[in-house]
Amino acid sequence: MLNEISENCLTLKKVTYLNTSDWTNLLAKSVQIADSTLHETTKKIDFDQPINIQYTSGTTGFPKGVTLSHHNVLNNGFFIARRLQYSDKDRVCIPVPFYHCFGMVIGNLACTSHGACIVIPNDAFDPELTLKAVEQEKCTSLYGVPTMYIAELSLDTFHNYNLSSLRTGVMAGSTCPEEIMKRVQSEMNMKDVTVCYGMTETSPVSLQTKIGTPLQKQVSTVGSVLEHLEVKIIHPETGKTLPIGSEGELCTRGYSVMLGYWNNPETTAQVIDKSRWMHSGDLAIMDEEGYVSISGRIKDLIIRGGENISPKSIEDFLYTHPKVLDVQIIGVPSAKYGEEIMAWVKPHQNSDCTQDELLAFCKNQIAHFNIPKYWKFVDGFPMTVSGKIRKVEMREISIQELGL
């Protein structure tokens, strides 16, 4: 493996491999380094220097190397944990990848900054092993993206697991359907679960719900701005800051904003403006109390015959159908309207959910132009390795299958 790395990464000078099964030997090596050596090395390092290159998930295109500093990730982990009210009494189950910001910052750095125990259920996500780890290790907190929680809740053996030790956790990666959030709170005992919103480029969290947030705010928003950060909502085209209650693009400024994309100043300049605001590409609305709701991706917005259609609003409606376990809405090309709406539906196990049934469910309940023209029933969705839905790939597959 090391030979392959050397051959493909010609500028790489050193590779350090950590065998995580041998923590005792790792810790023992610390006594081999003199304090004076440690102090001299520390003097050569500045907190604004890059420490990590984190690749974006690639949900909307080619992954980019996000360059993050010590200042970015250490602060973000600390303030996330403070909202979760972590202490050395907490045991956190982290089934998300450590090579992404969710596992690295929201997970490991949040835990280590507050002395919480890190519980690793497996080397890759497995819903059974995750719930088993929570039960056996008496975890107080559990992490995951919505698709992970859906997979856990849909297990035939779900109710066999004792999850009474859980009190909190993190839902992140993408917007969680309201019905799923309610089930996580009630059926998984995670009454104080928090929603984290952000992006790799902001280390990653900009907004997070607080423990004690009213239920409606908990299930319908991504919380309020994290300490020592700023957020604003702007008009996507003019850049003008919009008043409270208006939908626009969410921007973040502060310590969490990346240094830039690795060796790519042109692309960096497209997302970080001259005032150091990071443009998210997400549509959002802020209310009078500072809570922010995400209404979708600007690039995911479907424009059908001049109507701007939010995929999320249709997804939220279809989630209320008792036979729908998960659903994703995309736009596909149309010669007549520019775009048409397509629904990819994952039904509950052993469900005989049909297109006619869902069309009847939509009729007179949502606007006629919001009702999908195309339907595809699936067992799962194309995903990145970090568990995010790849709508780009869904569109490609749909276009090919429909002959558009």
Reported in sequence order, the residue ranges of 56-144 that DSSP labels E, i.e. its strands, are 65-69, 91-93, 117-119, 141-144
Euclidean distance between CA atoms 344 and 327, whole angstroms: 6
Better-predicted residue by pLDDT, 340 or 12: 340
- Chosen CATH of 300-402 out of 3.40.50.720, 3.40.30.10, 3.30.300.30, 3.40.50.300: 3.30.300.30
CA angle at 67 for the pair 65 and 69, rounded to the nearest 5°: 160
Distance CA 151, CA 145 (A): 10
What average pLDDT does range 345-364 have in this prediction? 93
Q: Is 52 helix (H, G, I), strand (E, B) or coil?
A: strand
For the cut 60, the answer to whether the pLDDT of residue 19 exceeds it is: yes
Residue 402 has pLDDT above 90, yes or no: yes
Whether residue 44 contacts residue 65, with contact meaning beta carbons closer than 8 Å, is answered with no
- Please tell me the distance from the alpha carbon of residue 280 to that of residue 297, in angstroms, as a whole number: 9
Mean pLDDT computed over 132-154: 95
Is the pLDDT reported for residue 61 higher than 70?
no
**Residue 318: pLDDT band by 50, 70, 90 thresholds?**
very high
In this predicted structure, the answer to whether residue 59 has a pLDDT above a threshold of 60 is no
Q: With a cut of 70, say whether residue 57 has pLDDT above it.
A: no
Query: Token pair of 329, please?
Result: 């809405």
SS3 248: strand
Query: Strand pairing partners for 329?
Result: 343
What global pTM score does this model have? Answer: 0.80
Dist CA 73 CA 255 (whole Å): 9
Tell me the CATH class for 48-296: alpha beta
Q: What pLDDT, on the 0 to 100 scale, is given for residue 286?
A: 97
Instruction: Tally the residues of the chain.
Output: 404
> How far, in Å, CA of 276 to CA of 257, rounded?
8
In terms of Cβ atoms closer than 10 Å to its own Cβ (0-12, 13-18, 19+), residue 204 is: buried
Tokens of 251: 């921007």
- When pLDDT is averaged across residues 226-253 and rounded to a whole number, the result is 96
Instruction: Tell me which residue of 155, 128, 144 sits closest to 93, measured CA to CA.
Output: 144
- How far is Cα 84 from Cα 124, in angstroms, rounded to an integer? 24
pLDDT at 2 over 80: no
Backbone angles phi, psi at 30, to 5 degrees: -65, -30
How many Å separate Cα 377 from the centre of its chain? 24
User: What pLDDT sits at residue 375?
Assistant: 97
Kindly give, in sequence order, each residue whose CB lies less than 8 Å from that of residue 389, ignoring residues fewer than 6 positions away: 59, 147, 174, 328, 381, 382, 383
Q: What is the mean pLDDT of the chain?
A: 91
What is the widest separation between alpha-carbon atoms in the chain? 74
**DSSP β-bridge partners for residue 230:** 253
pLDDT in tens, 267-290: 999 999 999 999 999 999 999 999
pLDDT at 60 over 70: no
Domain residue limits, the chain: 48-296, 300-402
